[in-house]
Amino acid sequence: MINQQPPRFNAHLLQGQARIPIEAQYASRFSLLIRFFNGFPSDQGAEFNKIVFQQNGDKVEMGPCQYIVEPHHQNFQGRLVFKQAVYDLNSLFFKNKIDKLQTEFSNLPLILAHKTKIKKEFKEFIANLTYDLNVYKNIFDTLDARYADEPELIKQKVQQAVIETEGRKFMRFMDQKLEEFERTIINYSKKEHERHGYYLRKQLWHFLMCSPFMARTNLKPRGYSGDSVMMKMLYDNQYEGHSTFAKLMHKHPNEHPAAQAVRNRRKLVAKMLGELKFGRQKASGRKIRVLSVACGPAFELQDVLTSAHDCTGIQFTLLDQDKSALSEAASLIAMIEKKFNTKIEVEFLNESVRTMLTTPKLDKMWGQFDYIYSMGLFDYLTPPVARAVIEKLYQILNKGGEMVVGNFHISNASRYYMEYWLDWVLYYRTEQEFIDLLKNVPTAESRVLFEDTGSQMFLHVTKSES
């Protein structure tokens, strides 16, 4: 993100033997603002062999480039764009890295050769599936076109009728194809899963991009799977998309067991927090301190805080590495406050749990908590990191306090759908591996619970009073 005005710098342009001095400034990812010194007259479209300047003590030469006239309020006369190698100026000026738009192509031979390592039966499965999906898409698109001119409400009703009849049959077709797909890949090694997953996504890309959910999990605009927009899609579980086919491709993964497990865990957290409201800490007369680690948009709070009275007894601390998720959580809190005309005591911590690991006296900074929960985080942590994080959290739990941590179980029925289609890879654990995360902490009383789909488990930890 560029917050401040980028610096101006001196450079020169080479045109044949001529060396033309200019002042330049970063303008956009692929253009520079420039001003000619000495009133050099340059025409629209003038071409130069290269631009030369110093960047952090190094000489940078980039070209060929072309001048586009565009008078600018800061006395610049126009922009410079590159004609062949298209340099990423954002990388150059803000990450100190020379990158070209065409860099992707340098991997082309490797990417193209990828297909030679794909098993025959998998290629055949994908080829048949591609044909079938094209047939379905084509029919649904044709139907969409036939009622496209109807009034909006009629269009919605007609689409709903198509979804509830042929659309639901398509969903069953997808279920059957996924069963066939799992039978094909079930004995693949980890490396083979990665390789075949990559191949599937390249082959089915066009279909995946139709689905708002699958497009986001694959494109990862915030750099990771499970961002607050994806979480909202999972919680909403609606038919979203620009066509009937898109809506079906969006809804199908949202109905799968892992998605249901996420909705179940939200209910479970809300139930546990709800019980806290009336729990024994409340009897002590002070507010209950609750910490949500990797809180995301904290949607569960709207299920818990359902009256002005609910908002008074708990002091929340919401931690997440993602600023956008925290700001969505803040909007949700503000909405609840407005609804019940009350104040909620909440602190936001924009931190990574990895920073927490290097902070020696965490309790001095954040205090102690009565209740700590973390959903959708441990699935991303390797065993050593998960162990270190849970031990650290246990240290800041009050005696008699409780901690609940979620993790997908190795038996997650959506595992390969997620890995291959959604490019959403998690760390799965067994019950024993989950319990063992706290094996170095003898005072912890732990048990494992499951939600209804059996895909997601929860480590429930109590810190004994003694």
d(CA 300, CA 336): 12
Nearer to ligand SAM, 276 or 326 (CB): 326
Closest distance to ligand SAM from the beta carbon of 203 (Å): 27
Provide the token pair at 443.
């005072």
Q: Which stretch binds ligand SAM (CB under 6 A): 170-178, 180-188, 291-299, 359-367?
A: 291-299
* Cα distances (angstroms) measured from residue 375 to each of 138, 291, 405: 40, 12, 6
Closest distance to ligand SAM from the beta carbon of 92 (Å): 28
Binding status of residue 461 toward ligand SAM by CB under 6 A:
no
Nearer to ligand SAM, 167 or 297 (CB): 297
Of 156, 352, 440, 443, the one binding ligand SAM by CB under 6 A: 352
Nearer to ligand SAM, 51 or 375 (CB): 375
Nearer to ligand SAM, 24 or 405 (CB): 405
Closest distance to ligand SAM from the beta carbon of 433 (Å): 19
Nearer to ligand SAM, 144 or 322 (CB): 322
Using Cβ positions, the residue closest to ligand SAM within the complex turns out to be 296
Binding status of residue 380 toward ligand SAM by CB under 6 A:
yes
- According to CB under 6 A, which residues from 48 to 67 bind ligand SAM? none
Nearer to ligand SAM, 42 or 324 (CB): 324
Nearer to ligand SAM, 235 or 239 (CB): 235
Closest distance to ligand SAM from the beta carbon of 312 (Å): 24
Binding status of residue 296 toward ligand SAM by CB under 6 A:
yes
Looking from the CA of 264 toward its CB, the CA atoms found within 13 Å total: 20
Binding status of residue 354 toward ligand SAM by CB under 6 A:
yes
Where are the strands (E) in 264-304, listed by range? 288-293
Nearer to ligand SAM, 212 or 296 (CB): 296
- Inter-residue contact 240 to 233 (CB < 8 Å): yes
Nearer to ligand SAM, 326 or 344 (CB): 326
* Residue in 330, 293, 318 with CA at minimum distance from that of residue 406: 293
- Inter-residue contact 79 to 50 (CB < 8 Å): no
Q: Which stretch binds ligand SAM (CB under 6 A): 89-97, 118-126, 152-160, 317-325?
A: 317-325
* Cα distances (angstroms) measured from residue 40 to each of 12, 22, 66, 127, 247: 12, 9, 15, 60, 57
- According to CB under 6 A, which residues from 248 to 277 bind ligand SAM? none
- Inter-residue contact 405 to 390 (CB < 8 Å): yes
- According to CB under 6 A, which residues from 112 to 171 bind ligand SAM? none
* Cα angle 202, 206, 210; round to 5: 135
Tell me how long the chain is.
Answer: 466
Binding status of residue 451 toward ligand SAM by CB under 6 A:
no
DSSP-H helix ranges across 297-420: 301-304, 323-340, 353-357, 362-366, 383-395, 415-416
Closest distance to ligand SAM from the beta carbon of 278 (Å): 23
Binding status of residue 233 toward ligand SAM by CB under 6 A:
no
* Residue in 96, 79, 72 with CA at minimum distance from that of residue 24: 79
- Inter-residue contact 276 to 290 (CB < 8 Å): yes
Binding status of residue 295 toward ligand SAM by CB under 6 A:
yes
b/e code 436-463 from CB counts within 10 Å (16+ = b): ebbeeeeebebebebbebebbbbbbbbb
d(CA 359, CA 198): 38
Angle at which helices 257-277 and 228-236 pack, to 10 degrees?
90
Residue 206: CB atoms within 10 A of its CB come to 11
Of 376, 412, 417, 437, the one binding ligand SAM by CB under 6 A: 376
* Cα angle 240, 246, 247; round to 5: 35
d(CA 275, CA 31): 58
* Residue in 67, 54, 60, 52 with CA at minimum distance from that of residue 99: 60
Kindly determine how many residues on this chain lie close enough to bind ligand SAM according to the rule CB under 6 A.
Answer: 17
Provide the token pair at 79.
């922009």
- Inter-residue contact 414 to 175 (CB < 8 Å): no
Binding status of residue 212 toward ligand SAM by CB under 6 A:
no
Of 375, 386, 393, 438, the one binding ligand SAM by CB under 6 A: 375
Of 249, 276, 377, 422, the one binding ligand SAM by CB under 6 A: 377
Q: Which stretch binds ligand SAM (CB under 6 A): 22-30, 78-86, 103-111, 373-381?
A: 373-381
Binding status of residue 325 toward ligand SAM by CB under 6 A:
yes
d(CA 75, CA 13): 18
Binding status of residue 15 toward ligand SAM by CB under 6 A:
no
Nearer to ligand SAM, 185 or 418 (CB): 418
Binding status of residue 30 toward ligand SAM by CB under 6 A:
no
Binding status of residue 328 toward ligand SAM by CB under 6 A:
no
Binding status of residue 353 toward ligand SAM by CB under 6 A:
yes
CB-based contacts of 83: which residues, under 8 Å, 6+ apart?
Answer: 47, 63, 64, 65, 66
Q: Which residues bind ligand SAM (CB under 6 A)?
A: 226, 231, 294-296, 299, 320-322, 325, 352-354, 375-377, 380
